[in-house]
Structure 1
Amino acid sequence: MHQNFPRASKATITYTDSGRVETLEYGDTKKALKYEIEYVNNCISNKIKANTLESSIDVMNLMDEIRKQWGLRYTFE
């Protein structure tokens, strides 16, 4: 895991099906909110539906399943 995980400037993805490793590097983490605003503006300007409610629900369901398989529970559960 890369240092400073919550505001990492780099992420490494290992694809389990092929073993391929991909490293993504991004800009200055101090400008994270600026990058997010630019992304949202671009999506609105170009009518891009990148982050739909359905994709958010899919991610939450996936994370719930992962937590279930790991036996990880939140304190309020």
Structure 2
Amino acid sequence: MDKIDCFGDICPVPVIKLQNMISTILEGESFMMVVDHSCAIEHMREVLQKENLVWTIDEVMNGVWEVTVTKE
């Protein structure tokens, strides 16, 4: 699984990286993004809800989220 580090990236950079990864992965593949900005998480959630994907967003530490995405 690819892991994309978005530490320090402010909106819309994490969302753009998310959209790029969604467009490149194949069915059955997964990736994880690590994000440290809550506003990016809200925008990423909006993008993910529109796609045919399996995804989770977990706050693994205070202010740090892991977004795991799998294309079905």
Give the structure-1-normalised TM-score.
0.27
**Higher gyration radius (CA):** 1
Give the structure-2-normalised TM-score.
0.29
Whose helix fraction is larger, Structure 1's or Structure 2's? Answer: 1
Whose strand fraction is larger, Structure 1's or Structure 2's? Answer: 2
Greater relative CO (CA pairs within 8 A, separation 6+): 2
